[in-house]
Amino acid sequence: MLNACLLGCGGSIPLPERPLTALSLTTCGRSVLIDCGEGTQVQLRAYRRSLYDIETICLTHYHADHVAGLPGLLLSMGMCGRSEPVTLIGPEGLERTVAGLRVVAPELPFPLRLFTLKGELEEVDMEGYRIGAFAVNHRVPCYGYTLTIPRRGRFDAERARRLGIPLPYWRRLQQGENVEGFAPEDVLGPPRKGIKVCYCTDTRPCQAIVEQGKGADLMVLEGLYGAEDKAASAAQKMHMTMSEAVDLAAQAQPSMLWLTHFSVAMRDPAQYLPGLRQIFPHTVAGEAGMEVHFTFQDD
Amino acid sequence: MLNACLLGCGGSIPLPERPLTALSLTTCGRSVLIDCGEGTQVQLRAYRRSLYDIETICLTHYHADHVAGLPGLLLSMGMCGRSEPVTLIGPEGLERTVAGLRVVAPELPFPLRLFTLKGELEEVDMEGYRIGAFAVNHRVPCYGYTLTIPRRGRFDAERARRLGIPLPYWRRLQQGENVEGFAPEDVLGPPRKGIKVCYCTDTRPCQAIVEQGKGADLMVLEGLYGAEDKAASAAQKMHMTMSEAVDLAAQAQPSMLWLTHFSVAMRDPAQYLPGLRQIFPHTVAGEAGMEVHFTFQDD
């Protein structure tokens, strides 16, 4: 139903052994990419993610390590034969940034649809999944993202029979269609838990992250440093330490937390896990190629 | 004296197993980079080439696979502490391209010096080495490059004694300085063979490549396809096949030829070597990380 793959876990500088942070999300042959630094297209190939399928690219902000790979990716998507539109979502400055980078990718065989974020909290309905964007707190305008696959309520066959709804209408009502005066709400229970992923990097801790992480199957959060004596440096750079990220997860209670966007100076992020797991047990140190598959849970 | 390292050998699309074509040249702690596609900075690190040392970046043309890595590289050079100027050399459009890409790298701790090529043949003296640029024949303005380290003539001690030149002046004259009315020409023989590398990609074969390759210790030439039935496709795309590149080398007679800029569709470039070496024996199929060190030859 939803496959998530962390394409890299580095921050600032792409290293041979640690590519830059980006997340690929695929549902039913349609993909969303969050962030696109230098080398992200190479990582997509390395983990056999389709470039052709990418229909939405969410950019947290316009620092090079999150966006410099965009023109190359768009060109490669064109070479893969994509002709359907691609939606780009990002903070103010999206048009200017895309126009600048497209100096090396002026011609594309598909249209770009730019969606510039302005509010604190915005939603983009992509028919089948929903992108949520929430403002966070970095040196420049920066957003975190959620991807949600909603799930309709359970079909009440007993009720459908009682209302005398003909059998051929059932499937269409179940899929959310109105049929001959009958509405889905007539036969569907309350919406059930869908699938939700929350991604957030390059920010100081803030309450919006907790709110948006609630109910998430996966949170992907920046943990720039692990050592406690780096807390002041993280704050000064408007970034987040591992323990700050874990504190947010402990409040939001997602099913799983992947830490990412590690400083070049931090050689072994996993060394901090024992302490972090005392605060939030389901904490994982991100690694390039880390993957998880989510399906709707049984009720 | 000069160390050359091929950072990748792919064309068009960076692949996990085949990074994009670029050449790093280092002499006495000063580096020249020719081309800078997505991932070139990662390759520099992979092969332990200093980013800090890069003082000249030569761009053949502005297709993304040759230039999209520029903003990321410049930022990383800044993070490495570079503050000395960096010279960028490229065809017309250099200012516009650099300005566009710098939308994600607006602030750098070093000045950029842009040198826009206009003529068929241009030279930039970098004090200690010379960059030559020669126009080639692609779909867009495109240049090949030579890097030459000149070597002064042999010092004639006998003659210096005969002219009564005091011993303390000898070293300075040898280094090309005028001293107290004496000139280097008074005591130096004719210039000796220095070191020369010639790099050329994304072009149809042309006479300029032969001329510029003459006397080269190393030629690095595009060989987009190996199969003969791809010759028409290469011509149509304004690229060069392996056998066309080898024909040029056979005319120029460099000491060595590295083929590069291989098509994504060509899995095993080395399979074509036996045939190619019948035309020019010193032909090598490029591989990422391939390296060679040149010193002045004994006379």
The SS3 assignment for B7 reads: strand
Q: Confirm if B257 and B284 have CB atoms less than 8 A apart.
A: yes
Report if pTM > 0.90. Answer: yes
List the single residue in A with minimal CA-CA distance to B66.
A104
How many CB atoms within 10 Å of residue B95?
Answer: 12
Distance from CA of A101 to the nearest CA of B (A): 5
Q: Please report the residues numbered 195 through 224 in chain A whose beta carbons come closer than 8 angstroms to any beta carbon of chain B.
A: none
Q: Nearest CA of chain A to the CA of B257: how many Å? A: 27
**Strand A112-116 relative to strand B218-222: parallel, antiparallel, unpaired?**
unpaired
Write down the pLDDT at residue A298: 72
Residues of B in contact with A100 (CB under 8 A): 99-104
> Quick check: helix, strand or coil at residue A190?
coil
pLDDT band at A78 (very low <50, low <70, confident <90, very high): very high
Task: Flag if A101 and B105 touch (Cβ within 8 Å).
Answer: no
Average pLDDT over residues B259-263: 98
Per-residue pLDDT, averaged over B273-286, amounts to 98
pLDDT band for B81, please (50, 70, 90 cuts). Answer: very high
User: Rounded distance, CA B55 to CA B47, Å?
Assistant: 18
No. of helices (H) and no. of strands (E), chain B: 10, 14
Compute the average pLDDT of residues B146-172.
94
Average pLDDT, chain A: 96
Alpha helices in chain B (DSSP H): 40-46, 64-67, 70-79, 94-101, 157-162, 167-174, 207-213, 231-236, 242-252, 273-279
Strands (E), chain A: 2-8, 22-27, 30-34, 54-58, 86-90, 112-116, 121-125, 130-135, 143-151, 192-200, 218-222, 257-260, 283-285, 291-294
B72/A38 touch (CB, cutoff 8 Å), yes or no: yes
Report the DSSP beta bridge partners of residue B259: B221, B285
Residue B100 contacts A where some CB pair is shorter than 8 Å:
yes
Residue B32's pLDDT band (boundaries 50, 70, 90)?
very high
Q: For chain B, give every domain's residue range.
A: 2-149+197-290, 153-190
DSSP B114: E
Residue A191, CA atoms < 13 Å, CB-side half-sphere:
8
Q: Is the per-residue pLDDT at A299 higher than 60?
A: no
Q: Is A46 on the interface with B (CB under 8 A)?
A: yes
Whole-angstrom Cα distance, residue A235 to residue A238? 5
Tens of pLDDT, residues B52-68: 999 999 999 999 999 99
Contacts of A95 in chain B (CB under 8 A): none
Q: How far apart are CA B37 and CA B201, in angstroms?
A: 13
Best CA proximity match to B139, nearest among B65, B248, B63: B63
Per DSSP, the three-state class of B294 is strand
Chain centroid to CA A148: 9
ipTM over 0.90: yes
**Vertex A224 angle, CA A222 and A227, to 5°:** 130
CATH architecture of the domain B2-149+197-290 equals 4-Layer Sandwich (3.60)
Residues in chain A closer than 8 A to B90 (CB atoms): none
The third-level CATH classification (topology) of the domain covering A2-151+195-292 is Metallo-beta-lactamase; Chain A (3.60.15)
Q: Look at A64 and B99 and tell me if their CB atoms are within 8 Å.
A: no
Question: A249 and A276 in contact (C-beta within 8 Å)?
Answer: no
Q: Which amino acid is at A191?
A: P
Nearest CA in chain A to B104: A64
Q: What is the pLDDT of residues B113-150, one digit of tens each?
A: 999 999 999 999 999 999 999 999 999 999 999 999 99
Would you call B125 a catalytic residue per the annotation? no
- Nearest-neighbour CA in chain A from B184: distance (Å): 48
* Closest C-alpha among A76, A11, A85 to residue A44: A76
By the 8 A CB rule, do A135 and A194 touch? Answer: no
